[in-house]
Structure 1
Amino acid sequence: MSIPASELSSAVGEDEPPARLAGDLVVWLFVGLELATFGLLFLAFAFTRLLQPEVFAAGQAGLDQSVGAINTLLLISASACAAHTLACARAGHHRTATRWLLAALLLGGGFLILKSHEYLTKWRAGTDFASNDFHMLWFMLTGFHFMHVMAGCVIFTLLLRPLAQGRYSAGNCNALESGCVFWHMVDLLWIVLFPLVYLLR
């Protein structure tokens, strides 16, 4: 007994739409470049710590792990809000999506405030780039990441208005997807940066 061609194609999944990479390809290329850049900085930090264990141990002892942990929760929560934003926008629930995106933006802003306070505390104590190799790399890594969080917050701010106006849908969500991809990269970088710089001895 033969199976009709239409049923056969459906059975093997030929009628299903092909998988699509979320967001713009340019954003993914940028993400790859940024991950490679941070990877080199992480290696530089780890290698220098092997050469100067006492300096790095003293520097890490002076960091506030609780602030770092709170910042980790803020970024992970912001990523969860961004994911909810995208899901709601694709489902056509634009008001709910706007609220989720605003929550992600506020959480990202909370990270920036806490990190700024951490920098200010260090500078008031006389600690800067020139203090030693640990603080030079700490400022470089966290400062570079800080700028990425700022960029992510700017992107979320720019996405808020068109999202509230209902411009995004399941078939037209490229800009929102790209913004979320960028933010998830920011979150991933911190998940590596926090234990490497604040916790590992």
Structure 2
Amino acid sequence: MDGRALPVQDADENASADDLLLWVLVWSELAAFGILLVGFLVVGVIQADAFAAARSHLNPLLAGINTLVLLTSGWQAALATRPAASTPTRRRALVLAALFGFAFVAIKLFEYSTEVAVAGLPKFGAFFELYFLITGFHLLHVAFGSVILLLVAWRPSPGNIALITTLWHVIDLVWIVMFPIIYLA
């Protein structure tokens, strides 16, 4: 079969397929984190005393700073999507978004270093297992997303910018929901 026998798709059909895949990815990410957070809440009700004791070993100030860092990163990502932005402006915004993402990772790893000493104590029940699972999964998303932001900054096509910034905002949204549930509840 030669290439002439294949149907030709126009740009609108490709864009629709890309949009569908993007939203499938977005909703699957939200569902995965939603399930983890609901599980955390359920176990938190069952082991209320252990969760309360474990939370006293978290650092909500560092987590609050990380919230500001991640939101600043999201703001930079949003600047890259402005229609009037030049290519150098888009690149700069994407690189700054990635750098703030890496700052989030560094702060979170520092926070982990202070928590790991008490994480294995039986009196905290399942709190730290779930805490490291949920926040670690999010941390991997931030680290990987930061790398992708840098790759897109290197070759900033509008479609790739829209894709990574949409996913980056989902990562922001997940943290905004996760922060009060884990640190403040």
Q: TM-score, normalised by structure 2?
A: 0.85
Decide which of 19, 36, 39 is 1:41's aligned counterpart: 36
Percent identity over the alignment is 36
1:187 matches 2:172: yes
- Counterparts in 2 of 1:129 and 1:151: CA distance versus 1, 3 Å: farther
Output the amino acid matched with 2:103.
G
- Counterparts in 2 of 1:39 and 1:92: CA distance versus 1, 3 Å: closer
Deviations 1:28-69 (A, max 9, x none): 101111111111111111111111111000111110000000
- Match in the other structure for 2:5: none
- Match in the other structure for 1:67: 62
Query: Deviation of residue 182 (structure 1)?
Result: 0.6
Gaps of 5+ in 1: 1-19
Decide which of 119, 122, 136 is 1:127's aligned counterpart: 119
1:178 matches 2:163: yes
Report if aligned partners of 1:122, 1:128 keep a CA contact under 8 Å in 2.
no
Output the amino acid matched with 1:188.
L
CA distance in 1, matches of 2:154, 2:35: 37
Report if aligned partners of 2:76, 2:94 keep a CA contact under 8 Å in 1.
yes
Alignment of 1:94-105 (within 5 A): 94-105=87-98
Alpha carbon RMSD of aligned pairs, Å? 2.0
- Match in the other structure for 1:115: 108
Gaps of 5+ in 2: 1-14
Report if aligned partners of 1:75, 1:187 keep a CA contact under 8 Å in 2.
yes
Query: Deviation of residue 126 (structure 1)?
Result: 4.4
- Counterparts in 2 of 1:104 and 1:128: CA distance versus 1, 3 Å: farther
1:27 matches 2:25: no
- Match in the other structure for 1:8: none
Deviations 1:54-91 (A, max 9, x none): 1000111110000000110011111110010111xx32
CA distance in 1, matches of 2:133, 2:80: 31
Deviations 1:13-39 (A, max 9, x none): xxxxxxx88x63212101111111111
Bigger helix fraction: 2
- Match in the other structure for 1:4: none
- Counterparts in 2 of 1:27 and 1:43: CA distance versus 1, 3 Å: same
How many residues in Structure 1 have an aligned counterpart in Structure 2? 170
Query: Deviation of residue 157 (structure 1)?
Result: 1.3
Output the amino acid matched with 2:119.
T
- Match in the other structure for 1:77: 72
Q: TM-score, normalised by structure 1?
A: 0.79
Q: Max radius of gyration: which structure?
A: 1
1:152 matches 2:137: no
